[in-house]
Amino acid sequence: MALRFGLFIAACAAAFSVQGQAGSPPGWADGYVMANGIRIHYWRTGGEKPAMVLAHGSSDDGLCWTNLAKELAGDYDIIMFDARGHGLSDPPMPGDAPDAQVEDLAGLIRELKLEKPILMGHSMGSASVAWFAAKCPDVPRAVVLEDPGLGARRPGGLGDPEKRRAEILARNNTPVEQLVDQCMQNSPAWGQSECEIWAPSKRRHHPGTAMVSYAGRPAMKELFPKIAAPTLILKADAQGDVRRENEETAGLLKRGKIVHIDGAGHNVRREGKKQTLEVLRSFLAGI
């Protein structure tokens, strides 16, 4: 069964990678590296500036950082890569190790010869960035985590994988215009531009990611004491016990700061754009 599914993924990879492909702002480049056994695609703003690597969340891809990258590209060389199974990168395979995305990130940094990059991740990407920063504490210049899970690590995956695979495939086949409309209905605070960037990523998201388990990935409470770089947590708005627990976990960082963004949910930068940029710019100016 695993072999048949692996062959299915390999055969379909090219088809899913080009569906809904979107362009990038003028002047941005894109390319591929071979890292950790797969081909990883990335977008890059370029320039002789400090490198900043952005790791997106589940079902997004590198271009979902477009609006944030536009704000920061004047001061940083922004690298927005597609995680395995997302965007134009190769799909995952059954049996991928729990730290596969962490090693993908390590390989990308190595192949692009990035020196002391700033690392920022959202959700799934924040888990990869934090784990990498804990394993390789001398590499990051700084770390930014957008709404990481700060509680105990979930013991398993994201529900029935076959059902989830069918849901991903259905979105692969949904017209971009319909996805934009759904986004605007479900997340009006994002605005039209974010929804138009978000929608094509759903058509490029590979169904093979449904087979990936979160089992074996460490909790942030295990990772934070090992992270040496200055770290900013941009957290969804929270009150009461949840806020106190978030602050307690953030307190495990050696050089950490947590900011709850007023009114924002899981997609912090999309739902609290102004405050997110203010806090992020202030943090980056201090490193």
Nearest to 84 by CA among 71, 74, 95: 95
Contact, 63 vs 24, CB < 8 A?
A: yes
Statement: residue 30 has pLDDT above 70? yes
**For the segment 110-165, what is each residue's pLDDT rounded down to a tens digit?**
999 999 999 999 999 999 999 999 999 999 999 999 999 998 655 445 679 999 99
pLDDT for the residue numbered 15 = 39
Q: What number is the average pLDDT over the span 9-15?
A: 41
Q: How is the chain split into domains, by residue range?
A: 2-285
pLDDT for the residue numbered 94 = 81
Beta bridge partners of 51: 77
When the candidates are 3.30.465.10, 3.40.190.10, 3.40.50.1820, 1.10.1370.40, the CATH number that belongs to 2-285 is: 3.40.50.1820
Nearest to 199 by CA among 175, 222, 217: 175
Confidence of residue 23 (pLDDT cuts 50, 70, 90): low
Contact, 108 vs 42, CB < 8 A?
A: yes
Amino acid at 170: A
pLDDT for the residue numbered 212 = 87
**For the segment 64-110, what is each residue's pLDDT rounded down to a tens digit?**
999 999 999 999 999 999 999 999 999 998 889 999 999 999 999 99
Pairing of β 29-35 and β 51-55: unpaired
- The angle subtended at Cα 122 by Cα 219 and Cα 15, nearest 5°, is 110
Q: What number is the average pLDDT over the span 20-33?
A: 80
Q: What are phi and psi of 37, to 5 degrees?
A: 85, 0
**For the segment 170-226, what is each residue's pLDDT rounded down to a tens digit?**
999 999 999 999 999 999 999 999 999 999 999 999 999 999 887 889 999 999 999
Percent of the chain with pLDDT strictly greater than 70: 90
3-state secondary structure the chain: CHHHHHHHHHHHHHHHHHCCCCCCCCCCEEEEEEECCEEEEEEECCCCCCEEEEECCCCCCHHHHHHHHHHHCCCCEEEEECCCCCCCCCCCCCCCCCCHHHHHHHHHHHHCCCCCCEEEEECHHHHHHHHHHHHCCCCCCEEEEECCCCCCCCCCCCCCHHHHHHHHHHHHCCCHHHHHHHHHHHCHHHCHHHHHHHHHHHHHCCHHHHHCCCCCCCCHHHHHHHCCCCEEEEEECCCHHHHHHHHHHHCCCCCEEEEEECCCCCCHHHHCHHHHHHHHHHHHHCC
Confidence of residue 231 (pLDDT cuts 50, 70, 90): very high
Statement: residue 21 has pLDDT above 80? no
Statement: residue 14 has pLDDT above 90? no
pLDDT for the residue numbered 68 = 98
Contact, 211 vs 161, CB < 8 A?
A: yes
Confidence of residue 52 (pLDDT cuts 50, 70, 90): very high
Rounded distance between C-alpha atoms, residue 92 and residue 82, angstroms: 12
